[in-house]
Amino acid sequence: MAGNDRLSSQQLIQRINARTAVIGVMGLGYVGLPLLRTFHAAGFKTIGFDIDPAKVEMLRAGRCYLRHLGDDFIREMAGSGRFEATCDFQRLNEPDAIVICVPTPLGRHAEPDLSFVQHTAEAVADRLRHGQLVVLESTTYPGTTREVVLPILEKAGGGQPESNRGEPPVNGATWRCGVDFFLAFSPEREDPGRKSHSTQTIPKLVGGIDAESLAVAVALYETAVEKVVAVSSAEVAESAKLLENIYRCVNIALVNEMKVLLERLGIDIWEVVDAAATKPFGFQAFYPGPGLGGHCIPIDPFYLTWKAREVGLPTRFIELAGEINQHMPDYVIQRLTGALNGHNKSVKGSHILVLGMAYKPDIDDIRESPSLELIEKLLALQADVDYNDPHIPRIPRMRRHRLRLESVKISPAVLARYDCVLIATHHSIYNWREIADSAQLIVDTRGVMRKVPHAPGKVVFA
């Protein structure tokens, strides 16, 4: 498509409905790649953009780097003639719609780090042409789409003849959202590893910067997702995403605090939760664990608390939940230390095997996994630590962690050599009966050993 073509909202909607629009997705991770697959399955020509050449080469070769997704759909896309993967951001003028799915981590002081969003928006602005739709899916604080992304796009130098691309708009005028381009926010709702949900079946919230942008964005998602829910503004959509994750954070903190209390009282927290869950109304079961993992729940609440401080309001309830959940790895180490002491051993010099590195079962995602912090704390206490995770053969270098470990193979003989086996993630592939029979001592943070007969004193719940 020529760089100086101009599309009205209705013309763009017509292209979307006819499946002649080209869809670009920026950031091909746990959110972007499934979304790209969903648009491809809906019949669109798709272009995936990523800064990682290794990812792009794997996709071009028909291979998937997200193990829980498998290679089949990548091979199908690669052979369809309607899919490309590229690191060349100069091609951002080609898609009719660009969906941004980049990380929004926290900085060193738990402040929002929007550098990925800002740099991506600047790359889009550099090639923006008239009539393009831009949608932000990255989780962030209310106002980001309007206050951060919009000004960058309004100053875009795109849409000019190629010889003038990058030059400021004529007479210094800014581009107008809803006229020259369209901008919306639609929060990702991915749930990796859960086969009952998919990008196509999870309802999609959409909030536009203006009515024209909302109409175009709704039309786009309606072609690929079973149910689209339009809200009145981008800010509502941004806030709804935070509420969803804060809801989980607060309830997990509640049950984690109950776990610590009930352990002192000699009461089984998992049995208590199961009992409460028999109530058919007014209760939803949340289960305790060694801490919070994944990109959303450990991080997103801090985006709202930061924004709240900007307007002078405390969020004590949310911050308290964060404190409780952040303390859980310390509680696990405390319980493990006591368990080893009960076997006349100290943490220092003990051989400890951590089972499960992913933050949730049956996936290969270790973002913010509490297992990382557990290993670091054990190493700081001079324990000898290994891990096993069939989904994660080695721990990659990460922003906050520098663990250079590879997954060890387990067998009854191997399990028996460790002073303690720490169950951090309950992958379905594990043979809990074999683990219970073979291990000298088990510290269970997931409650999986409750239903496995074991020798008295061998299992400690944490």
Is pLDDT at 163 greater than 60 in this prediction?
Answer: no
What is the tens place of the pLDDT at every residue in 321-371? 989 999 999 999 999 999 999 999 999 999 999 999 999 999 888 988 999
Is pLDDT at 164 greater than 80 in this prediction?
Answer: no
What is the residue extent of each domain of the chain? 9-243, 267-461
Q: What is the pLDDT of residue 172?
A: 52
Q: What is the 3-state secondary structure (H, E, C) of 92-134?
A: HHCCCEEEECCCCCECCCCCECCHHHHHHHHHHHHHCCCCCEE
> Residues of the chain with pLDDT > 90: what percent?
77
CA torsion 6-233-299-38 (nearest 10°) is -50
Q: Kindly name the residue from 64, 249, 296, 420 that is annotated as catalytic.
A: 296
Is pLDDT at 160 greater than 70 in this prediction?
Answer: no
Q: What is the pLDDT of residue 69?
A: 80
Is pLDDT at 166 greater than 70 in this prediction?
Answer: no
pLDDT band (50, 70, 90) for residue 2: very low
State the Cα–Cα distance between residues 113 and 105, nearest whole angstrom. 6
pTM of this structure? 0.88
Average pLDDT of the segment spanning 119-126? 97
Lowest mean pLDDT among 193-202, 234-243, 259-268: 193-202
What is the tens place of the pLDDT at every residue in 262-316? 999 999 999 999 999 999 999 999 999 999 887 777 778 888 888 888 889 989 9
Would the CATH topology of 9-243 be identical to that of 267-461? yes
What is the tens place of the pLDDT at every residue in 377-416? 999 999 999 999 999 999 987 767 778 899 999 999 999 9
Q: What topology is assigned to 9-243 in CATH? A: Rossmann fold (3.40.50)
pLDDT band (50, 70, 90) for residue 8: very high
**Is residue 296 flagged as an active site residue?**
yes
State the Cα–Cα distance between residues 45 and 23, nearest whole angstrom. 6
What is the tens place of the pLDDT at every residue in 108-119? 777 889 999 999
**Token pair of 440 as six digits:** 């000298």
Angular region, 318: left φ>0, alpha ψ -120 to 50, beta rest: alpha
Q: What is the pLDDT of residue 173?
A: 61
**Token pair of 359 as six digits:** 């933050």
Is pLDDT at 203 greater than 70 in this prediction?
Answer: yes
Cα 205 off chain centre by: 17
CATH, domain range 267-461: 3.40.50.720
